[in-house]
Structure 1
């Protein structure tokens, strides 16, 4: 056997690295999920001592069952997503779809064929995910009393989201493809600029144009709560365009509150389910926590980080799109047929391959991102304790964990890897609150 027999071609090496990374990805996710299932099931029989006076055993067991059910369903989703990913890449699904559309449109449509490829890919993936979404909503969420949607409303949301996606996504994709073809070797920089401009625009128009298509937003009517919230925002130096209540109960029993918008378009939104569960002082404390994110510039830092990662990712894609082994190693033919005396790259193939493959590798950065997010949550809690009442925030956290059926006994390693928010016991202990009976 000659020495050269031990060397792999760049394409074969790409296939091997991707396969090993996918195997490691699935293996780690499976390991972490089984750890979490065992930890929650092991502690199902008794409420943690610090919560024993606040959380009833049946609520604790409901949360445990809900968590385990979602995790087991997640294992099915994990297996399916891995199979679909292999089908699109190494098994040739994306290459076959591209060839089929090329035979329909021919080489004379350098923009239409790639755009059709992106649309067809999104449609097929959406159809694959549809049964899972239906099961999660109408079986799992229904079983635990969270789903409030009818099938008619679910279908209406699906139609609306599809239409909005087409109206916004297709022109944006066409612009990106045109920039990739028309701006030379620095197409990735122009595309990044267009993407950032679009992202900022969406922050402005989403609250007033898109969100109302799915939910009703009414001005906050509770005068006592409105006064408390207004005084809190004045103390914190925060200005919002309005305080709104969203009909979250129309779809789910889960509760939340959030800020949306950008610049002068910022608004405070409360789920009606949140207002039904918490007292005015507790709502004020939750809002103070959200204001803490703005005080510490967490939102701005995340936006800047997103922009930086997007720039780095597109720069990497700009290089990979010119490497034949990147395509061949992932199961696709890299170029359209020659036309006009040259070879025209199919940038849609590069975009799709990159979007499929990158999450396999960036998954291993999850612990770092989760740790940073938990740090931000602790900082926001500390700010809330300084501007409102720490005990009110502690009480609100316990109620939200109870009403949302969040487990109080997660596996520590699972927490460190996935949790964007620290467990309730850690948050309450850190800000000096107590777990008291409701």
Structure 2
């Protein structure tokens, strides 16, 4: 069947461009409405600690959490507005101008496409730096969370940029080459490369990538380690070690997490977390993280990413020869034939605004996993200790106890504090 026969009548250049503009604006204004609701709700409940926490969280800490949320929200408004403008400028003319700048590389098409990706990434990365800097050295500093020096901030930025370039640009070059050289099933081969890359990153992240940014030390012998090892034995879980990360080098926030894949799994505790929680509370937090493994959440997320990326590649293969994709954004209609990498970039930029409505579904699915992990933790550890640990973390990390319900349903991957604690109490 001819390609044109597959092209919907509604996908003329003007129609598709209009659809993307409408989606961009709808996404922005819906997000702005949600954020305004959230900030108003937090401000309205600033002067009273919710009943489940009134005996454990002082009013001053509750007000600090509200002010922290409001400060981040105001910055978020500016960042969202800038993001809308930047995305529109890049899509509607900016990317085509960057493509023109790479014309001296026309005899090396894959290299030219990689150069376009590098230019795009550099511009968007530079635009994000002021927001990250202000968040770190003004908001986080004001509320007592920032421990990062300016030297560390810039060093992390340089290391992160170089690492991303070293990993992503060769991967992009391989995908661009496959798009050009692997025939009609290039999208399947590119997908296999992407999945292989993701699994490789899961395997090497703990031992090769994470130590570039943080120091990891084995958890010292003692009561805490013994209690954790007893939990792991009860749960029949093996890992490649228990480690403490120097999170306090950058932030006063605390956390714990699993990293790695297969035999490379590690259990990592922020040093700040170990300082704040009792041994039994640490065990309860770890039990929650174990719940994600025991309830197959990690595998389910990997499968979801695999299926979503496969759908993306298949859709990209369909859209690749469609002239409206290119003419909508200032490129010649035959761009896809000679420069398929441009199609990947354009499609990657145009698709998220069209799919923003998926966010609340993903959030709901994630919250379901959190409830399941909490239930598992209550089975193998102490329900009361988990509640106590979560309460301390809410207080110490200045997490608001009173998010707007609609905003939270749309955005939050974890259940709101009151709902989560009530779920644990009902058991």
TM-score (norm 1): 0.93
Kindly state the Cα deviation for residue 433 of structure 1 after the two structures are TM-superposed: 7.1
- The one-character-per-residue Cα deviations of 1:41-88 (angstroms, maximum 9, x if unpaired) are 000111112211111111011100000111111111110010001101
Q: Which residue of structure 2 lines up, in the alignment, with residue 4 of structure 1?
A: none
Q: Which residue of structure 2 lines up, in the alignment, with residue 396 of structure 1?
A: 389
Note if contact 2:96-2:329 (Cα within 8 Å) is conserved in structure 1: no
Q: Matches of residues 254-269 of structure 1 in structure 2 within 5 Å?
A: 254-269=253-268
- Taking the aligned partners of 2:361 and 2:98, their CA distance within structure 1 comes to 36
Kindly state the Cα deviation for residue 385 of structure 1 after the two structures are TM-superposed: 0.3
Residue ranges of structure 1 left out of the alignment (5+ in a row): 1-6, 337-342
- Taking the aligned partners of 1:244 and 1:189, their CA distance within structure 2 comes to 38
- Taking the aligned partners of 1:373 and 1:319, their CA distance within structure 2 comes to 30
Runs of 4+ more than 2 Å apart: 330-336
- The one-character-per-residue Cα deviations of 1:140-177 (angstroms, maximum 9, x if unpaired) are 11111111001101111111111111221221111111
Q: Matches of residues 209-248 of structure 1 in structure 2 within 5 Å?
A: 209-248=208-247
- The one-character-per-residue Cα deviations of 1:382-429 (angstroms, maximum 9, x if unpaired) are 100000000000000000000010000111111111111011211111
- Taking the aligned partners of 2:91 and 2:375, their CA distance within structure 1 comes to 47
- Taking the aligned partners of 1:353 and 1:58, their CA distance within structure 2 comes to 48
What SS does the aligned partner of 1:432 have?
Answer: helix
TM-score (norm 2): 0.96
Residue correspondences, number:
419
- Taking the aligned partners of 2:334 and 2:397, their CA distance within structure 1 comes to 49
Note if contact 1:370-1:418 (Cα within 8 Å) is conserved in structure 2: yes
Describe the shift of the 1:109–1:432 C-alpha distance in structure 2 as closer, same or farther (beyond 3 A): same
- Taking the aligned partners of 1:26 and 1:54, their CA distance within structure 2 comes to 38
Q: Which residue of structure 2 lines up, in the alignment, with residue 161 of structure 1?
A: 160
1:195 aligns with 2:197: no
Kindly state the Cα deviation for residue 30 of structure 1 after the two structures are TM-superposed: 0.5
What SS does the aligned partner of 1:76 have?
Answer: helix
Note if contact 2:243-2:268 (Cα within 8 Å) is conserved in structure 1: yes
Note if contact 1:334-1:349 (Cα within 8 Å) is conserved in structure 2: no
1:150 aligns with 2:149: yes
Note if contact 1:366-1:417 (Cα within 8 Å) is conserved in structure 2: yes
- Taking the aligned partners of 1:8 and 1:160, their CA distance within structure 2 comes to 45
Q: Which residue of structure 2 lines up, in the alignment, with residue 64 of structure 1?
A: 66
Q: Which residue of structure 1 lines up, in the alignment, with residue 406 of structure 2?
A: 413
1:98 aligns with 2:99: yes
- Taking the aligned partners of 2:323 and 2:24, their CA distance within structure 1 comes to 21
Q: Which residue of structure 2 lines up, in the alignment, with residue 431 of structure 1?
A: 424
- Taking the aligned partners of 1:382 and 1:398, their CA distance within structure 2 comes to 17
What SS does the aligned partner of 1:431 have?
Answer: helix
1:347 aligns with 2:346: no
One of 14, 26, 33 as aligned partner of 1:12: 14
Q: CA RMSD in A?
A: 1.4
Name whichever of 422-431 and 367-376 sits farther off: 422-431
Note if contact 1:254-1:404 (Cα within 8 Å) is conserved in structure 2: yes
What SS does the aligned partner of 1:259 have?
Answer: strand
Kindly state the Cα deviation for residue 334 of structure 1 after the two structures are TM-superposed: 4.6
What SS does the aligned partner of 1:146 have?
Answer: coil
- The one-character-per-residue Cα deviations of 1:70-110 (angstroms, maximum 9, x if unpaired) are 111111111001000110112x00001101211x22x3112
1:23 aligns with 2:25: yes
Note if contact 2:321-2:337 (Cα within 8 Å) is conserved in structure 1: no
Note if contact 2:179-2:341 (Cα within 8 Å) is conserved in structure 1: no
- Taking the aligned partners of 2:426 and 2:270, their CA distance within structure 1 comes to 25
- The one-character-per-residue Cα deviations of 1:159-212 (angstroms, maximum 9, x if unpaired) are 111111122122111111111111122211110000000110111101000100
Note if contact 1:117-1:348 (Cα within 8 Å) is conserved in structure 2: no
Note if contact 1:95-1:333 (Cα within 8 Å) is conserved in structure 2: no
- The one-character-per-residue Cα deviations of 1:239-274 (angstroms, maximum 9, x if unpaired) are 001000000000001110000000000010000010
- The one-character-per-residue Cα deviations of 1:9-59 (angstroms, maximum 9, x if unpaired) are 700000111111111101110010000000000001111122111111110
